[in-house]
């Protein structure tokens, strides 16, 4: 029996709205960056999608979904809200099973080590509050009771280590059917813009998980987001797939001329369904 997965990511609904017309599918797989404000905006939107389609929604938060919030309290609140929303919230290597397919999900973040001898430079560039990753100032990290600080690369590197370990542990558990890993950040250099490492900050988008993709517990499919270009390629035994919408560049209309909209990723397919 094949199972139809509706694969989406990086909708960025807070940047520009989107009306989805759900295709025929069995499970929706959403690999993060739906909108900022996970609990206030994202989970209600996913609950509405779940109610409209009547189909399971497997969702992994992207970095943007955590924006404008404190990471740890937001995660705790989201875990409480997700069951009532009918959403499988996978954040750090949790497992959900639908229609005989096993889903393992994590935001994943990165280890900043895609180009190992540039790791220190990548983390320093990523931490720059002006030219680095906006996550540093858009997400707050709990240091202790009531005490929060910037969401620095050293924090995401630790999250990556923990989440990767849990994803690998979940994959090592024998399972008879297909397994799909869902992450926001990418598992391989080929997912980067241009298809290869070019600058130290590229290490904020992907880590090298070739050992997992080529290992004995490789999943059938790995869905990710974060890089706003579509991807569909194979490494080892795994098909790596992304279908990000990305941003929409809007030029305001002038007298007699309508607003112009230019999608960042022209290859985005709002009705992409793949079978496993």
10 binds Fe ion (CB under 5 A): yes
Q: What gap in Å lies between CA 47 and CA 166, rounded to an integer?
A: 27
Question: Which of 11, 60, 63, 167 touches Fe ion (CB under 5 A)?
Answer: 63
> Hey, how many other C-beta atoms are within 10 angstroms of the C-beta on 152?
16
Q: Name the segment binding Fe ion (CB under 5 A); options: 14-22, 63-71, 205-213, 232-240.
A: 63-71
61 binds Fe ion (CB under 5 A): no
Question: Which of 33, 65, 88, 202 touches Fe ion (CB under 5 A)?
Answer: 33
Q: What gap in Å lies between CA 133 and CA 238, rounded to an integer?
A: 29
Listed residue (106, 130, 137) closest to 209, CA to CA: 106
**Angle separating helix axes 119-127 and 153-172, nearest 10 degrees:** 120
* Residue 216 tokens, joined: 């004995």
Q: What gap in Å lies between CA 134 and CA 151, rounded to an integer?
A: 9
Q: Name the segment binding Fe ion (CB under 5 A); options: 55-63, 139-147, 174-182, 195-203.
A: 55-63
DSSP codes joined into one string, 215-246 = STT--SEEE--SSSS-EEEEETTEEEEE-B--
For Fe ion, the closer of residues 62 and 187 by Cβ is: 62
Question: Which of 56, 62, 105, 153 touches Fe ion (CB under 5 A)?
Answer: 62
Closest distance to Fe ion from the beta carbon of 63 (Å): 4
135 binds Fe ion (CB under 5 A): no
How far, CA to CA in Å, does 255 sit from each of 176, 249, 251? 61, 19, 13
Closest distance to Fe ion from the beta carbon of 54 (Å): 27
Site string for Fe ion, 219-238 (x = CB under 5 A): -------x------------
Closest distance to Fe ion from the beta carbon of 65 (Å): 8
- The residues binding Fe ion (CB under 5 A) are 10, 33, 62-63, 226
């Amino acid at each position: 029996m094949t199972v139809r997965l509706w694969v989406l990511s990086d909708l960025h609904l807070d940047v520009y709205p989107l009306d989805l017309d759900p295709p025929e599918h069995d499970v929706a797989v959403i690999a993060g960056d739906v909108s900022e404000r996970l609990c206030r905006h994202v989970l209600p939107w996913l609950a509405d999608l779940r109610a409209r389609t009547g189909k399971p929604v497997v969702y992994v938060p992207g970095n943007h979904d955590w924006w404008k919030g404190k990471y740890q309290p937001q995660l705790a609140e989201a875990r409480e809200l997700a069951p009532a929303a009918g959403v499988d919230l996978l954040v750090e290597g949790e497992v959900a099973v639908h229609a005989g397919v096993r889903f393992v999900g994590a935001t994943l973040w990165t280890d900043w080590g895609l180009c190992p001898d540039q790791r220190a430079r990548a983390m320093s560039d990523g931490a720059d509050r002006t030219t680095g990753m906006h996550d540093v100032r858009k997400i707050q990290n709990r240091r202790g009771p009531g005490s929060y600080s910037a969401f620095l690369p050293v924090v995401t590197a630790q999250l990556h280590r923990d989440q990767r370990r849990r994803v690998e542990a979940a994959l090592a558990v024998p399972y008879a059917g297909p397994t799909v890993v869902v992450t926001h950040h990418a598992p391989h250099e080929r997912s980067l813009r241009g298809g290869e490492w070019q600058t130290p900050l590229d290490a904020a988008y992907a880590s090298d998980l070739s050992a997992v993709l080529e290992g004995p517990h490789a999943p059938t499919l790995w869905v990710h987001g974060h890089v706003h270009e579509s991807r569909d390629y194979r490494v080892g035994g795994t098909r790596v797939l992304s279908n990000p919408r990305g941003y929409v560049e809007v030029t305001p209309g002038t007298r007699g001329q309508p607003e112009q909209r230019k999608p960042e990723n022209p290859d985005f397919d709002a009705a992409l369904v793949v079978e496993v």
